[in-house]
Amino acid sequence: MGVSAASILNQLLHAKNLKPQPRSTATNTTKAAITTILSHVNAGHICKAASVLFAFPAPFPYSLYAHLFQHCTSPRAVVGLRKAESHLLTFSPNPPIFLLNRAIEAYGRCDSLRDARELFDEMPQPDGGSWNALINAYSQRGFSDEVFKLFLKMNRCGVYPNQITLAGVLGSCAVASEIVLAKQAHVTVVKFGFCRNVILGSSLVNVYGKCGLMVDARRMFQEIPSPNAVTWNVIVRRYLDAGDAREAIVLFSRMFLVKVRPLHFTFSAALVACASISRLEEGMQIHGVVVKLGLHEDNVVSSSLINMYMKCGKLEDGHEIFDQIGSKDLVSWTSIVSGYAMCGKIWEARKIFDEMPERNVISWNAMLAGYARFCDWHEALDFIYLMLGKIKDVDHVTLSLMLNVSAGLSDQEMGKQVHGYIYRHGFHSNLSAGNALLDMYGKCGNLNSATVWFDQMSNRRDWVSWNALLASYDHHQLGEQALTKFLEMQWETKPTKYTFGTLLAACANSSSLNFGKQIHGFIIRHGFEMDIIIRTALVNMYSRCRCLEYAIEVLKGAISRDIVIWNTIIFGCCHNHRGKKALELFQLMEAEGINPDQVTFQGILLACVEEGFVDVGTDCFRSMSNEYYVLPWLEHYDCMIELYSRHGYMDELENFLKTMPIEPTLSMLRRAFEASQKNRYSRLGEWITHKLNEFEH
DNA sequence: TTAGGGTTAG
């Protein structure tokens, strides 16, 4: 490359023989050239404009250069921009600093920071505006470290920052989560009395929020005399990102009270907030406002609306908006697919997925997540093969889902292959992929690999990682070790209700009553909310540890009881050979208006087997489909065969076997055969022998 | 003359 524009500037500034030419001598030719240049600039043809300029060996008014610099907005303009700068410096060797500052900004916008920096460095006396231009050029292109260095250098050079400098610096602090420097900048804002500046106020709200300090962000927000739409947008967005969707919605609604019209982005943020915590009512109200303001034409807002309805389970409403919008984009298609898939309407989701005009990794993941959520492992596996054939780059979500599928299928080999891929492609530092890996090893029964991986994750693990490890101990019936690990966990992170679920399951599976009681005590002492999930885990733990009375006490303590907790206690009674108690509790459950499901009947039939209540069992089985409209599963038929076989009700057994609407399984036939032999009931024995022969052929 | 926020889907 030849001599740069900035060096030309330097030479010119030191050359004494060049004098600025009088600018009043504009001839008609100059005027014509200016007109041509302006028309090119206004049409966005910077290079053409610069060529005309360059061909004219005379100075032009500064305003023309300023106009040209201002219109340089994309990297395409950079060649023209260089020409214009060089022309300026050749024919006006002493240009005003403000014009050079405009050129620095223009280089920034053209993504040519080297030129910007060179020009700045060659300036004999950069002013505050030059520093600002360069700092903001770096700030807007995300080079936070450069911004920080320049800011310090600027201070050292004795140049005072102004509002513009601080806005750029705070923006970079937000990008880099640089809280220490942000606080220093905050002090400067206060010291120089810029506190009432709404732009700096918004930047401070933003930076505190991005650094996870929502209390400070909120305090800053409250100090701003009249927050504008951008300020509100920032605070809503920061609450949403901080995981407080509820507060995001509250603040969004407050905007209407203070009569600040939300921006498009704020509408979509509020809709995302509603979607994330299933606040349909608020979502519908926002929908109303969106329509009133005509924002439903906006692609992003309409996609957010579709997503909100789908996530709130209102599939038809979401689909209706989708049908109405003119340009259905990838995002709205994916929202629809995901909505159906996550509601368990897998078939519908797949149908829509297959109709999609285009797909990306997110749409593939949305569909795969549906299969995984509903444990449709074989379909998921087929889908993965299909996906890998169609898409080149999978991401950490795909990899996590693939690990879930490996775990679901207990296919450790597949899991290991995914592990290899994760390692080779640098996904091992991704937390969700790492947690999925841990979960896979645990569920595939490889406690050793799970532990090794868990230790390797030491600097980037969270409570999900700990839970996965605890679940792995549970899987290996190591309740005691789980508890030890739980104590260790508290040095690092806080337990959640899911942790207790896992720990109590570990205690239940290893009959560790003492540890179970300790966990129960921990939950109470630390004031964790005793929700239905924890309560169910406790009921399960106590009944599995042969402490049925405790289990019943926990059950009674619940404000409301769902089918799962009732089923748990009914099975708990069976586990403790207390069939009568199970039937008694079943009646209480019905009195509470809870409808039994397949699992309940399985428990009831088990109780009847346990107690030898053959008539009750027979009645129950009959009423199951006739009165409760609960279709029997294979397990229920199995229970009935066990009931008749164990208690020697051979006529009933024969009748049942011969009239079953499904073919008896091998184990059912074997069980019944044993009973016929024991009870010398040869007619059935012969029939079964015949059936068993059929099986063999 | 220069400054802030932000684009929906897994």
What per-residue confidence (pLDDT) applies to A28?
A: 81
Nucleotide showing the shortest C1' distance to residue A302 CA: B8
Q: Please tell me which residue, A251 or A16, carries the higher pLDDT value.
A: A251
Q: State yes or no: pLDDT of A368 exceeds 90.
A: yes
Nucleotide showing the shortest C1' distance to residue A167 CA: B3
Question: In what helix (H) or strand (E) does residue A623 lie, and over which residues does it extend?
Answer: helix A614-626
Separation in Å: B7 C1' and A233 CA: 13
Quick one: pLDDT band at residue A15, thresholds 50, 70, 90?
A: very low
Task: Determine the Cα–Cα distance for residues A80 and A68; give it in Å rounded to an integer.
Answer: 9
pLDDT digits 0-9 by tens, A302-330:
999 999 999 999 999 999 999 998 889 99
Cβ–Cβ < 8 Å for A546, A511? yes
Q: State yes or no: pLDDT of A26 exceeds 80.
A: no
- Assigned token pair, A518: 């300790």
Q: 């005590």: which residue's tokens? A: A521
Please tell me which residue lies nearest to nucleotide B7, judged from CA to C1'.
A300
The distance of Cα A504 from the centroid of its chain, to the nearest Å, equals 28
Separation in Å: B3 C1' and A162 CA: 10
Domains belonging to chain A, first-starting first, are 1-125 (1.25.40), 566-627 (no CATH), 633-697 (no CATH)
Chain B nucleotides reached by a protein CB under 7 Å: 1-10
Q: State yes or no: pLDDT of A6 exceeds 80.
A: no
Handedness of CA A302, A305, A309, A310 (dihedral sign): positive
- Residue A54, helix vs strand vs coil: helix
Work out the percent of chain A whose per-residue pLDDT is above 90: 82
Separation in Å: B10 C1' and A598 CA: 33
Q: State yes or no: pLDDT of A492 exceeds 70.
A: yes
DSSP string, A271-285: HHHHHHTT-HHHHHH
Please tell me which residue lies nearest to nucleotide B9, judged from CA to C1'.
A331
Please give the span between the terminal C-alpha atoms of chain A, in angstroms, as a whole number: 86
Cβ–Cβ < 8 Å for A583, A570? no
Quick one: pLDDT band at residue A187, thresholds 50, 70, 90?
A: very high
Nucleotide showing the shortest C1' distance to residue A394 CA: B10
Whose CA is closest to A191, among A213, A160, A219? Answer: A160
Task: Determine the Cα–Cα distance for residues A401 and A387; give it in Å rounded to an integer.
Answer: 12
Please tell me which residue lies nearest to nucleotide B5, judged from CA to C1'.
A230
Quick one: pLDDT band at residue A7, thresholds 50, 70, 90?
A: very low
* DSSP type of residue A24: G
Please tell me which residue lies nearest to nucleotide B3, judged from CA to C1'.
A164
Question: In what helix (H) or strand (E) does residue A670 lie, and over which residues does it extend?
Answer: helix A666-678
- Assigned token pair, A329: 């984009």
Task: Determine the Cα–Cα distance for residues A397 and A366; give it in Å rounded to an integer.
Answer: 10
What per-residue confidence (pLDDT) applies to A143?
A: 95
Work out the percent of chain A whose per-residue pLDDT is above 70: 96
Nucleotide showing the shortest C1' distance to residue A369 CA: B10
pLDDT digits 0-9 by tens, A455-465:
999 888 999 99
Instruction: Extract long-range pairs of A411-416: CB within 8 Å, 24+ residues apart.
Output: A411/A444, A412/A440, A412/A441, A412/A444, A412/A445, A412/A446, A415/A440, A415/A441, A415/A444
Separation in Å: B2 C1' and A133 CA: 7
Separation in Å: B4 C1' and A286 CA: 26
Separation in Å: B3 C1' and A195 CA: 14
Nucleotide showing the shortest C1' distance to residue A200 CA: B4
Separation in Å: B6 C1' and A678 CA: 78
Whose CA is closest to A365, among A340, A390, A387? Answer: A387
Q: State yes or no: pLDDT of A18 exceeds 50.
A: no
Nucleotide showing the shortest C1' distance to residue A265 CA: B6
